[in-house]
Amino acid sequence: TDVNIDEILAPMPDKVKKNRRKHIVKKDASAGCRPQIEANTRTVPGIITQRGCSYAGCKGVVVGPIKDMLTITHGPIGCAYYSWGTRRNKARTDDSTPPDQIYSTMCFSTDMQESDIVFGGEKKLAKMIDEVVEIFHPRAINICATCPIGLIGDDLGAVSKAAEERHGIPIIHYNCEGYKGVSQSAGHHIANNQIMERMIGTGTEKVDGKYVLNFLGEYNIGGDAWEIERVLEEIGYTVGSTLTGDSAYATIKNMHTAHLNLVQCHRSINYIAEMMETKYGIPWLKVNFIGIDATIDTLRDIAQCFGDKELIARTELVIERELAAVTPEIERYQKICRGKTAFIFVGGSRSHHYQFLLRNLGMEVMVAGYEFAHRDDYEGREVIPTIKSDADSKNIPELHVKPDTEMYRPPHLRLKMSQEKYDELVASGVLNEYRGMYPDMVNGGIMIDDANHFETEELVKVFKPDLIFTGIKDKYVTHKMGLPSKQIHSYDYSGPYTCFRGAVTFAKDVAHSLSTPAWKMITPPWEQSITEQR
C-alpha cells in the first residue's frame, strides 16, 4: 500500500494541515537517514486526539501505583474520581507492605468546593492530611495538584512541609496541574523529579543479592511485572524495586544500592534513569519484555552486562525451557494471525514494543503512533541535544544532579567489570541508549504523533488493517468502522502479556479478535450507499 499523506490531510484548513504534516512520517528504508518528526507540542484545539493531562501522567501513571503511599488529589472531586482505579496497575501485599498499608486502590481527595476556590484550599488540605494520618497511619503521603490549585495559587510546598513537621513522615507534593504541559508527559517528568529528590537514596538498607536490578518504567498492567520477575528470579537476579508497578516507598528508598537499572518504558521514566546514572553511577539498559525474540534478546543483554559465565549459561537454560513450553501454542495461533496487519496507537512506548510481539505472530504494524512521546522515542536519543524547548516544555523544572559524594560508585565497579569493557558496552549502544521506534518500523509504514480520529479513519481506509490496538477513546471509532479493536492500555482486562507465557495469552486474545464473525456482519460507512448511511 502506498499512502499519500498530503492527500489524507487535504480536507483540513491550511494552518492545521501544515501543523499535522510535521507529525506524520513515512518509513523509507532506502533514504538512509531518519526523518524528523514533530512531537511533544500542543494539540490543535478541538481536533480530538487521545491525549490526557499532566495530572493523569503524574498521579494516574507514575505515583498513584506506589502501593504504600497515600495519594491525595487536591482539587474538585472529578479528577480524583476519574483517576480512581481506571489504570490497571496491580499490587499485592508482601512482608514489608501488610494489607492495611496498601492505599493504591483507594481514592483520597480534598473535594474542593466553590468557597475553597474563592478563599483558598490550603487549610482544607492541611486538615485532610491530619485526618488521613490519624485514621490510616501511612508511611508517606503524595499530594497531587489539579488545574485549579495552580490557578488559585495554593502553596502545596508550604502545606506539605508544615505537615511533615507535625507528623514526622515524608509528605511529597507534585505541582502537576493538568495544564502544566501538553500531555501526560509533563506529569511523568514532574513525578520523576520528586521521586528522585525525595525518595531514592533516602533509605539505608542495601538490597541483598549478587545481581540486583531495578526495573524502571514497568507498571504491572495486568500483572506484567510479576511475569517478568518470575523469569528474572529464575535466572538468579534480585529485583530491588520496580518503578512503579507493584512498588512501595519502603523499597524505592533503597533503589540506589542496585547494580543495574532496566528501562522498559523510556518515555515515562528516562529522567530517573539518567539522573541515577549521574548521581549514583548506576548504568541503565533499555529492555523490552514484550515479544518472544525481544525477551530473549533482552535476557541476553542483561547477562552480557554482568558478563558472568554461569549467569550466561543459566540464562540460556531458562530461555530454552520457557521457549519449549510456549512454542507449540504460539504456532497454533500463528496459523490464524499470519499475514494480518494492524495499527497501534497508545501513549508512549507500547506502540514500539508490541511490534516485536506481533511480528512473532506473523503480523505487521502498518501505522504506529504515540499520544505524547518526544522526538527521542521516535528517532532515538541522539536527537535529544537538537530538540528545541518551547514555552510548554519550559514549564517543567529540569533537575541538575551531581555525583553523590558518599553513594556514587563508578558504573564499571557496579557491574564488576573493567573500565574498558564498560566503555565498550556504552560505545556499542548496549548501555544508556535508546534508538527509538523508527528503525523497527516496516518499510512504507507510517509513524504518527498525537493522531486524531479523522486521520485514524482515513488511514484505515488506505491500509485496511485487520485489527487496531487502541485505548478507550478510539476503540469505538474503530468498531463503528467494522474493525475489531483490542485495548492495549488495559488489555481489555486480560494479560499479563510479557515474556514467554504472556506472549501466548496475547496470541490467544489476538486470534480470538481476528476470528470473531461479528465484524463481517458490519458494512463500514464508505462501503454503504448514501441512503444506507442515512
Which entry of ligand HCA, ligand CFM, none binds 496, CB below 5 to 8 A by partner kind? none
What the block records as the C-alpha cell of 489 is 492500555
Which entry of ligand CFM, ligand HCA, none binds 473, CB below 5 to 8 A by partner kind? ligand HCA
The H-or-E segment that residue 443 falls in is: none
**Using rule CB under 6 A, residue 144 touches ligand HCA:** no
**Using rule CB under 6 A, residue 473 touches ligand HCA:** yes
C-alpha span between 20 and 35 (Å, rounded): 15
User: Among 24, 302, 303, 250, which residue's Cα sits nearest to residue 139?
Assistant: 250
In sequence order, the β-bridge partners of residue 70 are: 141
Beta carbons within 8 Å of 362's beta carbon, 6+ residues apart: 334, 337, 338, 339, 340
Among 5, 41, 43, 52, binds ligand HCA (CB under 6 A): 52
Which entry of ligand CFM, ligand HCA, none binds 350, CB below 5 to 8 A by partner kind? ligand CFM
Nearer to ligand CFM, 290 or 336 (CB): 290
CB 350 within 8 A of CB 290: yes
SS3 of residue 240 by DSSP: strand
Among 349, 355, 432, 470, binds ligand CFM (CB under 6 A): 349
> What angle is formed at CA 375 by the lines to CA 371 and CA 381, rounded to 5 degrees?
130
Interface of this chain with ligand HCA, residues 178 to 197, rule: CB under 6 A: 184
Nearer to ligand HCA, 193 or 470 (CB): 470
* DSSP-based helix, strand, coil % in the chain, nearest 5: 50, 15, 35
Interface of this chain with ligand CFM, residues 63 to 92, rule: CB under 6 A: 87
Candidate segments 128-136, 162-170, 335-343, 466-474, binder of ligand HCA by CB under 6 A: 466-474
User: Among 277, 284, 351, 469, which residue's Cα sits nearest to residue 39?
Assistant: 351
Candidate segments 49-57, 235-243, 310-318, 526-534, binder of ligand HCA by CB under 6 A: 49-57
**Using rule CB under 6 A, residue 221 touches ligand CFM:** yes
Catalytic residues: 53, 56, 87, 188
Beta carbons within 8 Å of 62's beta carbon, 6+ residues apart: 187, 188, 191, 192, 195, 243, 244, 268, 269
In sequence order, the β-bridge partners of residue 239 are: 213
The H-or-E segment that residue 133 falls in is: helix 122-136
**Using rule CB under 6 A, residue 489 touches ligand HCA:** yes
Residue type, 146: T
**Pairing status of strand 238-244 against strand 260-263:** unpaired
Among 5, 12, 25, 56, binds ligand HCA (CB under 6 A): 56
SS3 of residue 170 by DSSP: coil
> What angle is formed at CA 92 by the lines to CA 86 and CA 95, rounded to 5 degrees?
150
Among 444, 471, 482, 524, binds ligand HCA (CB under 6 A): 471
The H-or-E segment that residue 272 falls in is: helix 266-280
Nearer to ligand CFM, 234 or 492 (CB): 492
Nearer to ligand CFM, 222 or 281 (CB): 222
**Using rule CB under 6 A, residue 219 touches ligand CFM:** yes
Nearer to ligand CFM, 247 or 315 (CB): 247
Nearer to ligand HCA, 276 or 346 (CB): 346
Write down the least CB distance from residue 341 to ligand CFM, Å.
20
**Using rule CB under 6 A, residue 347 touches ligand HCA:** yes
Candidate segments 17-25, 128-136, 347-355, 505-513, binder of ligand CFM by CB under 6 A: 347-355
Q: Residue with CB nearest ligand CFM?
A: 347
Residue 496, preceding bond cis, omega within 30 degrees? yes
Residue keyed to cell 532496566: 262
- Angle at which helices 499-515 and 350-360 cross, to 10°: 80
Nearer to ligand HCA, 64 or 380 (CB): 64
Interface of this chain with ligand CFM, residues 159 to 188, rule: CB under 6 A: 184
In sequence order, the β-bridge partners of residue 343 are: 367, 468
C-alpha span between 492 and 448 (Å, rounded): 24
Among 34, 51, 198, 489, binds ligand CFM (CB under 6 A): 489
Nearer to ligand HCA, 270 or 432 (CB): 270
Residue keyed to cell 529522567: 271
Which entry of ligand CFM, ligand HCA, none binds 267, CB below 5 to 8 A by partner kind? ligand CFM
**Using rule CB under 6 A, residue 245 touches ligand HCA:** no
Residues that bind ligand HCA (CB under 6 A): 50, 52, 56, 60, 86-87, 184, 347, 471-473, 489-490
Residues that bind ligand CFM (CB under 6 A): 57, 61, 87, 184, 219, 221, 265, 267-268, 346-350, 489
